[in-house]
Structure 1
Amino acid sequence: MESSDVELDLQRSVQAVLRELSAQAPALQSNQGMWRWSLHKKVERDPGKSPVLVRILLRELEKAESEDLRHVIIPLLHTLLYVLTKATGITEELYRRTYKFCTRLLTLPAPYCTVALDCAIRLKTETAVPGTLYQRLVIAEQNLTSELYPYQERVFLFVDPELVSPSVCSALLLEIEAAQVHQTPEACMRHVVSHTLQAALGDTCHASALQRKLKASPRRALERYFHAVVAAVEQMASEPNPSREGHLERLEEIYCSLLGPAAAARGSCCGDPLQDPQPSIPLPSPHITFHLWTDEEQLWKELVLFLRPRSQLRLSADLEALDLQGLWPDRELARASMLSTDSGIERDLPAGADELPVPGSPELERAGLQRKGGIKKRVWPPDILMPACWDGPQGLHRRTGMPSGDGELLPGVSRLHTARVLVLGDDRVLLGQASHRPKKRETQKFCLTPRLSLQLYYVPVLAPEEPASCRHSELRELATFLGRADPWYQNTVNTLCPAIHKLAEMPPSLDTSRTVDPFLLDVITYYVRMGTQPIYFQIYTVRIFRDLSQDPTEDIFLTELKVKIQDSKFPKDGFSPRRKGAAEGPGAELSICYQKALLSHRAQEVTGSLRATGLVLKALPTSDTDGSGPTHTPPSAAPVTDHTCLNVSVTEVVKSSNLAGRSFSTVTNTFRTATIQIQSQDQRLLTLLLDKDSRRMYRDVVRFEVAPCPEPCSGAHRSKAPWLGSHQPEVDRTKAKPKPLLMPINTFSGIVQ
Structure 2
Amino acid sequence: MESSDAELDLQRSVQAVLRELRAQAPALRSNRGMWRWSLHKKVERDPGKSPALVRILLRELEKAEREDTQLVIIPLLHTLMYVLTKATGIPQELYWRTYTLCVRLLTLPAPYCTVALDCAIRLKTESAAPGTLYQRLVIAEQNLRSELYPYQERVFLFVDPELVSPSVCSALLLEIQAAQAQQSPEACMRHVVAHALQAALGATCRADALQRKLQASPRRALERHFHAVVAAVEQTASEPSAAGEGHLERLEEIYCSLLGPAAAARGRCGGDALPAQPPSIPLPSPHITFQLWTDEEQLWKELMLFLRPRSQQHLSADLDALDLQGLLPDRELARASVLSTDSGIERDLPWGTDEPPAPGSPEPERAALQRKGGVKKRAWLPDVSHWAGPPGLHRRTGQPAGDGELLPGVARLHTARVLVLGDDRMLGRLARAYHSLRKRETQTFCLSPRLSLQLYYIPVLTPEKRASSRHLELGELAAFLGRADPWYESTVNTLCPAIQKLAEMPPSLDTSQTVDPFILDVITYYVRMGTQPIYFQLYTVKIFFRDLSQDSAEDVFLTELKAKIQDSKFPRDGFSPRRRGAAEAPGAELSLSYRKALLSHRIREVSISLRATGLVLKALPAGDTEDHTCLSVNVTEVVKSSNLAGRSFSAVTNTFRAANVQVQSQDQRLLTLWLDKDHRRTFRDVVRFEVAPCPEPGVQKSKALWLSSHQQQEAERTKAKPKPLLMPINTFSGIAQ
| TM-score where L is the length of structure 1 | 0.86
**Residue 416 of structure 1: how far off its partner (Å):** 0.4
* Superposed counterparts of 1:229-628, under 5 Å: 229-239=229-239, 241=241, 244-270=244-270, 272-275=272-275, 277-309=277-309, 310-316=311-317, 319=320, 325-329=326-330, 360-363=357-360, 379=378, 384-390=381-387, 407-427=404-424, 428-463=427-462, 466-467=464-465, 474=472, 476-547=475-546, 549=548, 550-572=550-572, 584-624=584-624, 627-628=626-627
Contact 1:118 1:397 in 2 (8 A): no
Q: Following the alignment from structure 2 to structure 1, what is the Cα–Cα distance between the partners of residues 282 and 19?
A: 29
Q: What residue is the counterpart of 1:341 in the other structure?
A: none
Contact 2:672 2:682 in 1 (8 A): yes
**Residue 437 of structure 1: how far off its partner (Å):** 2.3
**Residue 583 of structure 1: how far off its partner (Å):** 9.6
Confirm or deny that 1:45 pairs with 2:29.
Answer: no
Q: For residue 483 of structure 2, what is the amino acid of its counterpart?
A: R
Q: Following the alignment from structure 2 to structure 1, what is the Cα–Cα distance between the partners of residues 587 and 170?
A: 47
Q: What residue is the counterpart of 2:350 in the other structure?
A: none
Contact 2:398 2:534 in 1 (8 A): no
Q: Following the alignment from structure 1 to structure 2, what is the Cα–Cα distance between the partners of residues 289 and 484?
A: 30
Q: Following the alignment from structure 1 to structure 2, what is the Cα–Cα distance between the partners of residues 372 and 567?
A: 61
Correspondence for 1:649 among 634, 640, 644 = 634
Q: Give the 3-state SS of the residue equivalent to 2:657 in structure 1.
A: strand
Q: What residue is the counterpart of 1:752 in the other structure?
A: 736
Contact 2:325 2:445 in 1 (8 A): no
Q: Following the alignment from structure 1 to structure 2, what is the Cα–Cα distance between the partners of residues 65 and 152?
A: 36
Q: Deviations over 1:184-224 (max 9, x none)?
A: 11100000010011111110111111111111111111111
Q: What residue is the counterpart of 1:13 in the other structure?
A: 13
Contact 2:596 2:658 in 1 (8 A): yes
* Superposed counterparts of 1:696-735, under 5 Å: 696-715=681-700, 718=703, 734=717, 735=719
Q: Deviations over 1:412-462 (max 9, x none)?
A: 421000000000111234331342121122133221011100000000001
Q: Give the 3-state SS of the residue equivalent to 2:595 in structure 1.
A: strand
Q: What residue is the counterpart of 1:166 in the other structure?
A: 166
Q: What residue is the counterpart of 1:144 in the other structure?
A: 144
Q: Following the alignment from structure 1 to structure 2, what is the Cα–Cα distance between the partners of residues 298 and 331?
A: 11
Contact 1:164 1:463 in 2 (8 A): yes
Q: What residue is the counterpart of 1:90 in the other structure?
A: 90
Q: Deviations over 1:229-249 (max 9, x none)?
A: 111111111116356443112
Contact 2:694 2:725 in 1 (8 A): yes
Q: Following the alignment from structure 1 to structure 2, what is the Cα–Cα distance between the partners of residues 359 and 193?
A: 37
Contact 1:128 1:242 in 2 (8 A): no
Q: For residue 669 of structure 1, what is the amino acid of its counterpart?
A: N
Q: Deviations over 1:482-512 (max 9, x none)?
A: 0010010011000000000000000000111
Q: Following the alignment from structure 2 to structure 1, what is the Cα–Cα distance between the partners of residues 478 and 9?
A: 33
**Residue 397 of structure 1: how far off its partner (Å):** 9.2
Contact 1:105 1:112 in 2 (8 A): yes
Contact 1:569 1:683 in 2 (8 A): yes
**Residue 127 of structure 1: how far off its partner (Å):** 0.9
| TM-score where L is the length of structure 2 | 0.88
**Inter-CA distance 510–323: structure 2 relative to 1 (3 Å threshold):** farther
Q: Following the alignment from structure 1 to structure 2, what is the Cα–Cα distance between the partners of residues 472 and 525?
A: 30
- Alignment size in residue pairs: 695
Identical aligned residues as a percent: 75
Contact 1:193 1:226 in 2 (8 A): yes
Q: For residue 261 of structure 1, what is the amino acid of its counterpart?
A: P
Unaligned runs of 5+ in 1: 333-357, 399-403, 629-642, 722-728
Confirm or deny that 1:681 pairs with 2:666.
Answer: yes
Decide which structure has greater helix share: 2
Q: Deviations over 1:659-697 (max 9, x none)?
A: 443332222211111111000000211111111111111
**Residue 25 of structure 1: how far off its partner (Å):** 3.8
Q: What residue is the counterpart of 1:661 in the other structure?
A: 646
Q: Give the 3-state SS of the residue equivalent to 2:542 in structure 1.
A: strand
Q: Give the 3-state SS of the residue equivalent to 2:440 in structure 1.
A: helix
**Inter-CA distance 573–528: structure 2 relative to 1 (3 Å threshold):** farther
Q: For residue 518 of structure 1, what is the amino acid of its counterpart?
A: P
Contact 2:589 2:666 in 1 (8 A): yes
**Residue 388 of structure 1: how far off its partner (Å):** 1.6
Contact 2:455 2:728 in 1 (8 A): yes
Q: What residue is the counterpart of 2:337 in the other structure?
A: none
RMSD value, Cα:
3.3
Moved more, 408-417 or 236-245: 236-245
Contact 1:588 1:611 in 2 (8 A): yes
* Superposed counterparts of 1:175-194, under 5 Å: 175-194=175-194
Q: What residue is the counterpart of 2:336 in the other structure?
A: none
**Residue 717 of structure 1: how far off its partner (Å):** 5.3
